Amino acid sequence: MKFSANLGFLWTDRSLPSAIHAAKKAGFDAVECHWPYDVPAVEVQAALQETGLAMLGLNTRRGNVKDGDNGLAALPGRSPEARAAIDEAIAYAVAVKAASVHVMAGFASGAAAEEVFVETLRYACAKAQSHGITILIEPLNSYDAPGYFLSTTDQALRIMDAVGIANLKLMFDCYHIQLMEGDLSNRIRHLLPRIGHIQFASVPDRGPPDHGEVSYPHIFDLIADLGYTAPLGAEYKSVGDTRSSLGWLFDMKRRG
């Protein structure tokens, strides 16, 4: 089993290049991030080359965070901004050899928002295809992100079917999906062909995966038994020093 450190949550007290080195030292097999745009891509790529780690993915910008934006792709009237954010994310992903881009939907609802989201995703998928990049969409739970357009896997599958382009995949975050839908084992079995990346955190506190209502050793074994071999994304909140939260990782590495 391989694991990716999500540097949007882990080692946030360090610069992104330094966090990449810390992830390598801790034993992670890959990294991913949220919004790396303030760091020159050449610096990130250098750290990736020095450590031998792959950058699995990054997010499109959220928009104007001070005004409450949390993504743009499903917002009627803001398609030019959404497409610019996609262009920027794909260019950065190409520069650091990232495998995927998560296109953030934003706070919206209704048929008009869904129509805009589908068209924006078609644009993103077409732009990404020539670079071999996967576009991801991720349902977020309604407790942490009330009003976010995409909140369930059924909704995500409907949108993916409407877009109809092969390089659009589901970001399956166990934390969000357990809170909204539960039944993680069966959902993973059913959805695995549509999944482009899997993330995890404890439920309900979004801490490391060594406590809470989800048995992650069981989930990790199930994923491995199903033949999924890509690194799983550790996207959880650590209290204090990140390294002190990594007992679960050291245990998994000892298990082999």
Amino acid of residue 48: L
Q: Are 199 and 173 in contact (CB under 8 A)?
A: yes
pLDDT tens, residue by residue, 179-195: 999 999 999 999 999 99
Mean pLDDT across 197-217: 97
In this structure, are strands 30-32 and 100-102 parallel, antiparallel, or unpaired?
unpaired
Hunting for tokens 């999944």 — which residue is that? Answer: 195
Q: What is the CATH number of domain 3-255?
A: 3.20.20.150
Nearby residues of 36 by Cβ (< 8 Å), 6 or more positions away = 16, 44, 58, 92, 96
pLDDT tens, residue by residue, 114-169: 999 999 999 999 999 999 999 999 999 999 999 999 999 999 999 999 999 999 99
Hunting for tokens 């949390």 — which residue is that? Answer: 70
Mean pLDDT score of the chain, rounded to an integer? Answer: 97
- The 232-234 sheet, strands edge to edge: 54-55, 30-32, 3-6, 232-234, 195-200, 168-173, 134-137, 100-102, 57-59
pLDDT tens, residue by residue, 1-37: 999 999 999 999 999 999 999 999 999 999 999 999 9
* C-alpha separations of 252 from 11, 27, 56, 218 in Å: 20, 11, 20, 12
pLDDT at residue 65 is higher than 70: yes
Q: What is the pTM of this model?
A: 0.96
Whole-number pLDDT of residue 59: 98
Whole-number pLDDT of residue 134: 98
Longest Cα–Cα distance of the chain, Å, equals: 52
Could you tell me the pLDDT band of residue 253, with boundaries at 50, 70 and 90?
confident
Active site residues: 138, 235
Hunting for tokens 């995966």 — which residue is that? Answer: 209
Q: Are 153 and 115 in contact (CB under 8 A)?
A: no
Could you tell me the pLDDT band of residue 256, with boundaries at 50, 70 and 90?
low
**What are the residue ranges of helices labelled H in 27-167?**
41-51, 79-96, 111-129, 153-163
